């Protein structure tokens, strides 16, 4: 029988994974229906990756605050550095984070559908390949 703590971890991981999948569907819909909104797609690809990472962390009992804060981002990086699975995808995560920040805070920078697809095919897929076998 699973302990309450294990049940909590499993539930948190499930919620994060479902949200990651939701974000992934959002990216597909934006790319299909609003083709000039690649900045939003880049941002959603990052948040898809973040939710997969948070699902993995929750599974391991490393739960971050519900509040979106810079402290959470720093703590997540610390967890990534300390974990053998996550440390292999640190570059992919940081690249997505950087691209997302560029999309949100440097509006003159334009992203293309090709840029979005490369981020999905390379960085997001690497993160999913590393994490999904552990969920």
Secondary structure of residue 111 in the 3-state scheme:
coil
Could you tell me the domains of the chain? Answer: 4-134 (1.20.120)
Helical ranges in the chain per DSSP H: 4-33, 38-59, 70-82, 84-87, 90-105, 113-118, 125-131
pLDDT at residue 10 is higher than 80: yes
What is the reported pLDDT for 48? 98
Comparing C-alpha atoms, which of 126, 110, 134 is closest to residue 48? Answer: 126
The gap from C-alpha 77 to its chain's centroid, in whole angstroms, comes to 12
pLDDT digits (tens, 9 = 90+) for 12-50: 999 999 999 999 999 999 999 998 899 999 999 999 999
What is the reported pLDDT for 35? 81
pLDDT digits (tens, 9 = 90+) for 46-73: 999 999 999 999 999 987 776 667 788 8
Average pLDDT over residues 108-119: 93
Query: CB neighbours (10 Å) of residue 25?
Result: 12
Angle of helix 38-59 relative to helix 90-105, nearest 10 degrees, comes to: 140
Average pLDDT over residues 100-124: 94
What is the reported pLDDT for 63? 76
Average pLDDT over residues 66-90: 89
pLDDT digits (tens, 9 = 90+) for 88-110: 999 999 999 999 999 999 877 89
As a whole number of angstroms, the distance between CA 71 and CA 81 comes to: 15
């Amino acid at each position: 029988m699973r302990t309450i703590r294990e049940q909590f971890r499993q539930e948190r991981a499930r919620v994060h994974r479902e949200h990651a999948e939701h974000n992934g569907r959002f990216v597909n819909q934006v790319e299909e229906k609003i083709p000039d909104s690649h900045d939003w797609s880049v941002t959603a690809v990052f948040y898809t990756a973040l939710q997969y990472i948070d699902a993995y962390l929750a599974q391991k009992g490393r739960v971050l605050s519900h509040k979106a804060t810079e402290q959470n981002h720093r703590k997540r990086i610390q967890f990534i550095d300390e974990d053998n699975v996550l440390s292999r995808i640190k570059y992919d995560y940081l690249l997505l984070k950087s691209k997302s920040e560029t999309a949100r805070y440097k509006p003159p920078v334009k992203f293309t559908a090709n840029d979005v697809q490369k981020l999905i095919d390379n960085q997001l897929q690497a993160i999913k390949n590393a994490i999904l076998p552990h969920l």
